[in-house]
C-alpha cells in the first residue's frame, strides 16, 4: 500500500512539474519572409537570371489550453530568365502565387520553455504564370492548388514575448487544376516523407 502511494505521489509530482500549458486566450504573430536573386553573365550579356520574393504573415490563437488555430495569407513571386544565344531575346517566365491557409495545433509542454506539437490543416492557392520577351507579354498558365498536410513541431519560449517554433509535414495530399487557353488538366497526389524539411520561425506573443 505504501509503495502504491509513493508511486502515485511521484506520478502526480511528474505531471505537475512537466504538465505546463500555453493558456487559453494566448495569441501570437508569425510568418515567413524569403528572398533570393542570382544572375549569370557571359561577356557582360545576361544569360540566366532568377529572382524570388515572398511574404506570408500568420496569426495564431489558443482556443483552449495547448490547442490553437492558425490563419495565414501569402504572396510569392518567382521570375526566371534565360537567353539561348547572345543575339536572342531574354525570355522571362514569372510565377505569381496567392495563398491562404488554416491549421490546427495541439501542444504538449514538457516545462515552461520547451514543448512539442502536432499540426494539421491545409492551404488553398491561386497562381498564374506569364512569359515575356522584349516584344510581347502573354498569359501562359493559371492554376488552383489545394494542399492538405500534417506533421510534428517543436516550440521553445525565449521569454514572455518571443518564441522559436519549428514545423514540418510528414504527410501531404495535394490537388492542382491548371488551365492554359482551351486546355485544362487536373492532378492529385500524396507524399509521405520520413526525411522532411523543417521550417523554423519566430513567434511574437500578443498576450
Give me the pLDDT at residue 73, please.
Answer: 96
- pLDDT band of residue 8 (cuts 50, 70, 90) is very low
What are the boundaries of each domain within the chain? 21-205
- pLDDT band of residue 134 (cuts 50, 70, 90) is low
Of 1-10, 51-60, 104-113, which range is least confident? 1-10
* 93 or 163, greater pLDDT: 163
Percent of the chain with pLDDT over 70: 81
Contact (Cβ atoms closer than 8 angstroms) between residue 124 and residue 109: no
Enclosing H/E stretch for 18:
helix 2-18
The per-residue pLDDT for range 137-147, each reduced to its tens digit, is: 566 788 999 99
Give me the pLDDT at residue 196, please.
Answer: 73
Fold of 21-205: Porin (2.40.160)
**Average of per-residue pLDDT values in the chain:** 82
Closest to 200 measured CA to CA, from 162, 158, 153: 153
Give the E-state strand segments of the chain in sequence order: 27-42, 45-64, 67-82, 91-109, 114-132, 137-157, 162-168, 171-180, 183-192, 198-205
Percent of the chain with pLDDT over 90: 47
Would you call 170 helix, strand, or coil by DSSP?
coil
Give me the pLDDT at residue 97, please.
Answer: 93
User: Over 70: is that where the pLDDT of 41 sits?
Assistant: yes
Question: 0.85 cut: is pTM over it?
Answer: no
Give me the pLDDT at residue 48, please.
Answer: 79
Tell me the CA distances in angstroms from 50 to 29, 38, 75, 135, one per residue in order.
30, 5, 17, 20
* 135 or 2, greater pLDDT: 135
Amino acid at each position: 500500500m505504501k509503495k502504491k502511494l509513493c508511486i502515485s505521489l511521484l506520478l502526480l509530482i511528474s505531471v505537475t512539474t512537466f504538465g505546463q500549458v500555453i493558456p487559453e486566450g494566448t495569441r501570437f504573430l508569425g510568418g515567413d519572409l524569403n528572398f533570393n536573386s542570382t544572375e549569370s553573365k557571359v561577356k557582360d550579356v545576361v544569360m540566366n537570371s532568377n529572382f524570388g520574393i515572398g511574404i506570408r504573415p500568420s496569426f495564431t490563437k489558443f482556443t483552449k489550453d495547448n490547442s490553437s488555430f492558425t490563419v495565414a495569407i501569402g504572396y510569392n513571386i518567382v521570375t526566371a530568365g534565360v537567353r539561348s544565344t547572345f543575339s536572342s531575346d531574354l525570355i522571362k517566365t514569372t510565377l505569381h502565387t496567392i495563398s491562404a491557409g488554416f491549421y490546427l495545433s495541439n501542444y504538449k509542454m514538457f516545462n515552461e520553455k520547451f514543448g512539442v506539437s502536432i499540426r494539421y490543416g491545409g492551404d488553398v492557392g491561386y497562381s498564374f504564370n506569364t512569359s515575356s520577351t522584349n516584344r510581347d507579354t502573354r498569359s501562359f498558365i493559371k492554376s488552383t492548388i489545394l494542399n492538405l498536410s500534417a506533421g510534428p513541431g517543436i516550440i521553445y519560449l525565449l521569454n514572455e514575448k518571443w518564441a522559436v517554433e519549428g514545423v514540418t509535414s510528414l504527410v501531404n495530399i495535394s490537388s492542382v487544376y491548371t488551365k492554359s487557353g482551351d486546355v485544362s488538366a487536373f492532378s492529385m497526389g500524396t507524399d509521405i516523407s520520413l526525411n522532411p524539411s523543417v521550417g523554423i520561425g519566430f513567434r511574437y506573443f500578443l498576450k
